[in-house]
Structure 1
Amino acid sequence: MEFERLLASRHHFMKASEIRELLKLLDQPEVISFAGGIPDPEFFPREAFQRASAEVLTQAEPLQYSISEGDLGLRQQLKAHMADLGVPCGVENILITSGSQQALDYIGKLFLSPGDTALVESPTYLGALAAFNAYEPRYDRLQVQGNQSPEVSTAAAQAAGSCVKFAYVVPDFSNPTGETLGCGAREALLDRATTLDCAVIEDAAYQALRYEGEAIPSILSLELKRTGDINRCRTLYCGSFSKTLAPGLRVGWIVAAKPLIDQMVLIKQASDLHSPTLNQMLVSHVLSEGFPAHLEYLRKSYRERRDVMLNALTSYMPDGVHWSQPEGGMFVWLTLPPHIDGAALLKRALEQEKIAFVPGQAFHADGSGANTARLSFSCGKPDSIREGVQRLARVLTAV
């Protein structure tokens, strides 16, 4: 049977994730990998989850169907958490998702018709592009640090027969660059979104992992100061416990105006009914058991690894290579000399030095950025990070 003719047109927009393929390299002990932007499993609070499991599984509730909005106890905890971030809201403004990746998929499904315009930075999170691609948008470059005129985006969208639906950003320690938007840039983004009358998608997956510097208010909190009511806000805030507790549980959340949450609840009901109740209740219990101390431990541990990588880059990289200076998160972004292609460099690095990273072109919706690369320091021990940077520097020096 020829299945190709039966498939929806959107399948042409679905592409394999370069990062997911590179994660397979982690099983090869001789390879030092800076590829996977994943938390170190040594930092998972396994004992806390074991205690939570013993308590939660004394009842039948975690094994039963539940409401699509998510476990009420967890949403109440998230309500308090968001209030601490300057976002007073109700539980009705919160939807629990199966990781923030599902949140991005739901947002794409809710907002995008084929040909609609999504504003994204260049580079931007590869997983967001994968989630949005299925809904066949066109992309326009979002320049949050410059003086990009909203009229330019409007004209480009209209010329393509569409309109701008949302602007997507990772404002804190961005994946892939590690960079952070300042408060002024966040305010300017809100101004631009207001002029365009589009939504703002705030992907806050790394917000809790700040290692230095002053915390910057979330985009949603800044908008709330303008509107005074979350149900009048255009910003959707996407959070996740994957980077701070355990990614395997797949627990994320969306905070937004109730009319938008109501629509995504309908999507949730048609998709998977609800996120696993057991996982949500486990997270809820662990949050109540020393989570601030666990978070401080994560920050201290990841900060040490970031510092080792930055110092090694300074010590070993040849002239012409530049990199970001992240204040948190898991990533350092390399900009290579213009003539060096990141994908070709990866092939050579694997063959000659057994070192892996993610070529940067995949993070650019327009196919640019061939001379860039993403390095992750989250899973490397200090000695391994130093050795890996030395290996990569040797390859770069040779080319």
Structure 2
Amino acid sequence: MPLTDLFATRTEGMKASEIRELLKLLDQPEVISFAGGIPDPTLFPREAYQRAMIDCTGSTEAASALQYAPSEGYLPLRQWIARYMAQYGVICGADNILITAGSQQALDYLGKLFLDAGDTVLVGWPTYLGALGAFNAYQPRYDRLDVATNQPPAALQDAAGGRVKFSYLSPDFANPTGVSLDLAERGRILDLADALDIAVVEDGAYQALRYSGDRLPPLLAIEQARKGDIDACRTIYCGSFSKTLAPGLRVGWVVAARPVIGQMVLLKQAADLQTATLNQMVTARVAEELFEPHVEQLRAVYGARLKAMLAALDRHMPDGVRWTRPEGGMFVWCQLPEGIDGADLLAQALATEKVAFVPGGAFFADGSNRNTLRLNFSMPNEAQIEEGITRLGRTLRVAMAAR
């Protein structure tokens, strides 16, 4: 009997991430890639990390940096996060914070914490495929979360087909669309959660990367202003240093009511005991030293690249193609004419023009809407953006002519 016959049934919904597979294209210098949602490594604060690594391993702190540590996370880092969240209107203490190995681990823990097989998760249509990957192992159903229609809770619950446990969304510059929720939409999300008596998982991975427009409060801040006490809130905020400082150290965090954090600590202890102590200590030092000026630099560079991409799309996309116009984040979302399959277009674009992107069907829980694609603008420079969008426009014209 092959061992695959012994795998748990929950593994049937697990599949390779299309994005992780596409990252392999970055090793091919002739390919202009708009595929990975990754930061530009030339902008990493390498000198600050080098100093912090030396300080943490070459001093009296080395014993702590290389040792086991509390599962909740390194206290000075949690205190820094509490101060950072206060700038966005979230008033919390270190005991409301858990350090995770990136926000992706937090999504996995939340799926494990809330979902029984057949339970329903409300998600955007499209939504972050990493969230779908994290939740799929727990065999949920998915229903569409559409704040624009203001669908009555009773109708939504009837449509779901199983007990609704939480909604998942990224209010600021969502992956993959780049779209943000306005204040009214944020309020409706919280109203819906109260009406359905469910949790809200708020993915704040891109919140700091705003290039234009007014800063809006996180859902957790709005709910806390309504209810007064973070421990009375149902919103669970997932943050990350991956998009602002460096992704390779895998340091993220969760802010939530203490009973939620307490249960997640038990999951952390069972899974990996703790996030790497040295990574946490180094991140705390670098964040304390230069987080705000460094993020300002990212906003300037990525904001210019976003403008370059939108301008290139205006110049080179054929009629019938539509795209979002984000105010921040890392992505632009394109809707193609009916009959153009994003996956087929990718194969054609790679073969004929050496340009890559992520087909959009992977971001829909039901695999629909295949005439879509996601473009990343944080990694390529402005010259590559111009050339790559020119190539993509040529590919699309050929595909549209062949329909």
Q: Which amino acid aligns with 1:389?
A: I
Pairs aligned (count): 396
Alignment of 1:180-199 (within 5 A): 180-199=180-199
Q: SS state of the match for residue 238, structure 1?
A: strand
Q: Which amino acid aligns with 1:70?
A: G
Q: What TM-score does the superposition give when structure 2 sets the normalisation length? A: 0.97
Residues 46-81 of structure 1: CA distance to partner in whole angstroms, max 9, x if unpaired?
000011111111121010000000000000101111
Counterpart contact for 1:44–1:246, Cα < 8 Å: yes
Aligned counterparts of 2:314 and 2:363: Cα–Cα separation in 1 = 25
Aligned counterparts of 1:52 and 1:30: Cα–Cα separation in 2 = 36
Q: SS state of the match for residue 168, structure 1?
A: strand
Aligned counterparts of 2:148 and 2:219: Cα–Cα separation in 1 = 15
Q: Which residue number corresponds to residue 86 of structure 1?
A: 89
* Residue 147 (structure 1) aligned to one of 128, 150, 154: 150
Alignment of 1:241-320 (within 5 A): 241-320=241-320
Q: Which amino acid aligns with 2:389?
A: V
Q: Which amino acid aligns with 2:286?
A: V
Aligned counterparts of 2:192 and 2:251: Cα–Cα separation in 1 = 31
**2:386 aligned with 1:386:** yes
Aligned counterparts of 2:147 and 2:131: Cα–Cα separation in 1 = 17
Query: What is the Cα deviation at residue 392 of structure 1?
Result: 0.2
Query: What is the Cα deviation at residue 156 of structure 1?
Result: 2.6
Q: Which amino acid aligns with 2:257?
A: A
Q: Which residue number corresponds to residue 220 of structure 1?
A: 220
* Residue 108 (structure 2) aligned to one of 84, 93, 105: 105
Q: What TM-score does the superposition give when structure 1 sets the normalisation length? A: 0.98
Q: Which residue number corresponds to residue 369 of structure 1?
A: 369
Q: Which residue number corresponds to residue 73 of structure 1?
A: 76
Aligned counterparts of 2:28 and 2:74: Cα–Cα separation in 1 = 39
Counterpart contact for 1:220–1:236, Cα < 8 Å: yes
Residues 147-191 of structure 1: CA distance to partner in whole angstroms, max 9, x if unpaired?
21211221133xx3x310000001100100000000100000100
Identity %: 61
Q: Which amino acid aligns with 1:72?
A: L
Q: Which residue number corresponds to residue 209 of structure 2?
A: 209
Moved more, 144-153 or 346-355: 144-153
Q: SS state of the match for residue 217, structure 1?
A: coil
Aligned counterparts of 1:357 and 1:173: Cα–Cα separation in 2 = 18
Q: Which residue number corresponds to residue 200 of structure 2?
A: 200
Q: Which residue number corresponds to residue 137 of structure 1?
A: 140
Query: What is the Cα deviation at residue 226 of structure 1?
Result: 1.0
Q: Which amino acid aligns with 1:156?
A: A
Residues 129-162 of structure 1: CA distance to partner in whole angstroms, max 9, x if unpaired?
00000000000011022221211221133xx3x3
Q: Which amino acid aligns with 2:391?
A: R
Q: Which runs of 5+ in 2 are unaligned?
A: none
Q: Which amino acid aligns with 2:356?
A: A
Misfit runs of 4+, over 4 Å: none
Residues 277-297 of structure 1: CA distance to partner in whole angstroms, max 9, x if unpaired?
000000100011122111110
Aligned counterparts of 2:38 and 2:22: Cα–Cα separation in 1 = 12
Query: What is the Cα deviation at residue 270 of structure 1?
Result: 0.1
Aligned counterparts of 1:80 and 1:20: Cα–Cα separation in 2 = 33
Query: What is the Cα deviation at residue 203 of structure 1?
Result: 0.1
Aligned counterparts of 2:150 and 2:256: Cα–Cα separation in 1 = 27
Aligned counterparts of 1:4 and 1:312: Cα–Cα separation in 2 = 48
Aligned counterparts of 1:53 and 1:21: Cα–Cα separation in 2 = 31
Aligned counterparts of 2:290 and 2:84: Cα–Cα separation in 1 = 15
Q: Which residue number corresponds to residue 172 of structure 2?
A: 172
Q: Which amino acid aligns with 1:335?
A: Q
Query: What is the Cα deviation at residue 4 of structure 1?
Result: 2.1
Residues 324-370 of structure 1: CA distance to partner in whole angstroms, max 9, x if unpaired?
00100000000000111101100111111011000000000022110
Counterpart contact for 1:53–1:282, Cα < 8 Å: yes
Counterpart contact for 1:89–1:230, Cα < 8 Å: yes
Query: What is the Cα deviation at residue 208 of structure 1?
Result: 0.3
Aligned counterparts of 1:37 and 1:13: Cα–Cα separation in 2 = 23
Q: Which amino acid aligns with 1:153?
A: L
Q: Which residue number corresponds to residue 5 of structure 1?
A: 5
Residues 369-395 of structure 1: CA distance to partner in whole angstroms, max 9, x if unpaired?
100000001110111110000000001
Aligned counterparts of 1:240 and 1:148: Cα–Cα separation in 2 = 31
Q: SS state of the match for residue 22, structure 1?
A: helix
Aligned counterparts of 2:180 and 2:67: Cα–Cα separation in 1 = 41
Counterpart contact for 1:153–1:164, Cα < 8 Å: no
Aligned counterparts of 1:146 and 1:155: Cα–Cα separation in 2 = 16
Alignment of 1:231-250 (within 5 A): 231-250=231-250
Residues 304-328 of structure 1: CA distance to partner in whole angstroms, max 9, x if unpaired?
1111100000011110001000100
Alignment of 1:41-56 (within 5 A): 41-56=41-56
Q: SS state of the match for residue 289, structure 2?
A: coil
Alignment of 1:319-334 (within 5 A): 319-334=319-334
Query: What is the Cα deviation at residue 5 of structure 1?
Result: 2.1
